[in-house]
Structure 1
Amino acid sequence: MGTGTDTPHGARAHARAQHGTRTATMPVVPATDWPDPPCAAGHLVWAETVAGGGYTHRPVARGTEIRLTDLQGDACAHLLLHSQARPWERLNVADTVKVQWNAYLRTGRLLLSDQGRVLATLVADTTDGRHDTLCGTSTLVRNTRRYGDGAAHSATPAGRELLTLAALKNGLDARDLPPSLSFFQGVEVRSGDHGDGDGDGTLHFTGSAGPGGSVTLRAEQDLTVLIANVPHPLDPRPAYTSTPLEVLAWRAAPTRPGDPLWDATPEGHRAFLNTAELLAAKDPS
């Protein structure tokens, strides 16, 4: 009987020897085994560390809060959201910017679909808004030109390729992937006089706020969450630089009337009303 993994018996023995062990980037199952949960005991539903150049995906229930943490200062979480029941309703970054009259993500911002409904709210942010709604994620062509390869299973995968894999594992495909938004690597539009001749609307990469920054999102519908952790397209460093991203999610409650977020702006109020109307039609109780 072979003792290596080149035989079925050896491969089985090797696989079974891994039982009860964990790698740094494997999801913790059950999530409640996570050693330091940020929520009440037993409420954690997703606990994972996504390697640089990796991706993850998960369906989450309405009201779930999802905390993303840039552990070492060079993560960049490229995010897409889809309604579970109606995957054609998905994150629309252009409407998220346009409806709220602002391209910069801060605490209290809403992530909107093209149906004028709230998919998620940004309820906490420790990074001083080091995020991006303008550039999307990296592509196969771009990464191949810049790093020599951009395929999903290469050493320098593109975000679009990884999000495609995440989509396929949830019954979606490439046509279901609109532009994504990015957390933890900032971009600003240069306007006015900065003393460098760069005040004509040029996109300026501001980079990371440093290790330990986090954002927390609250799901306002049942969602499918897709995340790729890859370098931002405007990152000027020649090397493919991407460090681990921590993802923790726990059961909580959605935003309801009376919450300050519900009435923060007329546009947001209408988006919450649109969302509530849909949910009431689905479940009148």
Structure 2
Amino acid sequence: MGTATPHGARAHARAQHGTRTPTMPVVPATDWPAPPAGAGPLVWAETVAGGGYAHKVLARGTELRLTDLHGDACAHLVLLAAGRPWERFNAADTVKVQWNAYLRAGHLLLSAQGRVLATLVADTTDGRHDTLCGTSTLVLNTERYGDGATHCATPAGRELLTLAALKNGLDTRDLPPSVSFFQGVHVDANDGTLHFTGSAGPGGSVTLRAEQDLVVLLANVPHPLDPRPSYTSTALEVLAWRAEPTRPGDPLWDATPEGRRAFLNTAELLTCRGQS
């Protein structure tokens, strides 16, 4: 019968019941076969293929672990305060306030309001990340690979993040430059030239803690400075679980004067909103 008729299409669709597509989210997430040791109940479990994207709204305190399964993932991440998209990740302030362009465990992802969106609580990649370049664009990918549209074989990160944004009631004006995990960039001390440092290898992971309710947008595409002529992007594992936000007394709260101020700014907002 095939899928040419409604009856055939329904039969085909129902035949998929009980099967699992490797790149589809696991629902419920608690069915994920190998949750991280010590993690609370999973709320998000997904494998994002190379050239794919994902999105989710996560509650404050949720921990999000991204894993480069095969060594060629590049997770371009945008964070926005849920319900308040004008408060979103600001790469310039994240670098400037913390006096460092190279993210490591203990660093904060900040908004332009001087508040903490997320804390980088664990990193096994030797800091192979990038706060400077953003993601790829339609024009760049068309020049390099021949196309960069959303549904082509070589989609651009900006196009995929826009699609993820639209599915959350947002649009391009809500998209700031993203931060990239697993493909690093080094700034030459002499002339400021950006050098692509590549991946730390398969299995590297980062864990972020949401310090506010967040809209999370992800695109898994090659870094814009990746010099390889082919579109090289492998699978990204995404797991999130219930946990607790950073509070006074946590070493991260008082790690630096600038960080402490950002946490206080965040606490003030949450107190005024009745969320502390």
Report the TM-score when normalising by structure 1: 0.95
Cα distance in 1, alignment partners of residues 40 and 205 from structure 2 = 22
Q: Which residue number in structure 1 is paired with residue 204 of structure 2?
A: 213
- What is the match of residue 89 of structure 1? 87
User: For this pair of structures, how many residues does the alignment match?
Assistant: 276
The amino acid that maps onto 1:17 is A
Q: State the partner residue of 2:6.
A: 8
**1:39 and 1:250 in contact (8 A); partners too:** no
2-structure distance, mates of 1:274, 1:46: 28
Counterpart residue number, 1:226: 217
The CA deviation at 1:87 is 1.2
Cα distance in 1, alignment partners of residues 257 and 39 from structure 2 = 37
Q: CA deviation at 1:112?
A: 0.2
> Which ranges of structure 2 fall in alignment gaps of 5 or more residues?
none
Assess if the C-alpha contact under 8 Å between 1:89 and 1:114 holds in 2: yes
Q: CA deviation at 1:85?
A: 2.5
AA partner of residue 5 (structure 1): T
Per the alignment, residue 250 of structure 2 pairs with 259
- 1:117 alignment partner in structure 2: 115
Runs of 4+ in 1 over 2 A off after TM superposition: 39-42
1:152 corresponds to? 150
CA offset digits 1:202-259 (Å, max 9, x no partner): 1000000000000000000000000000000000000000000000000000000010
Shift of 1:154: 0.3
Kept in 2: contact 1:32–1:42 (CA 8 A)? no
SS at match of 1:123: strand
* 1:254 aligned partner, one-letter code: P
Q: Report if aligned partners of 1:70, 1:246 keep a CA contact under 8 Å in 2.
A: yes
Q: Does 1:238 align with 2:229?
A: yes
1:200 Cα shift?
A: 1.1
Give me the whole-angstrom Cα distance separating, in 2, the residues matched to 1:102 and 1:32.
37
Specify the alignment match of 1:247 in structure 2.
Answer: 238
* Two-structure CA RMSD over aligned residues (Å): 1.0
What residue number does 2:262 align with?
271
User: CA deviation digits over 1:105-137, x for unaligned, max 9?
Assistant: 000000000000000000000000000000000
Please tell me the residue identity of whatever aligns with 2:195: H
In 2, the alpha carbon distance for the partners of 1:10 and 1:95 equals: 55
The answer to whether the 8 Å contact 1:127/1:184 transfers is: yes
- Indicate the residue corresponding to 1:184 in structure 2: 182
| Partners of 1:131 and 1:183 within 8 A in 2 | yes
After superposing the two structures, state which structure 1 stretch, 62-71 or 3-12, moved more: 3-12
Q: Which residue does 1:100 correspond to in 2?
A: 98
Residue 183 of structure 1, CA deviation:
0.1
TM alignment of 1:37-56, pairs within 5 A:
37-40=35-38, 43-56=41-54
Residue by residue over 1:19-67, the C-alpha shift from the partner in whole angstroms, topping out at 9 and shown as x without a partner, is 1111110100000011111155761100000000000000000000000
Aligned residues with identical type, % of pairs: 84
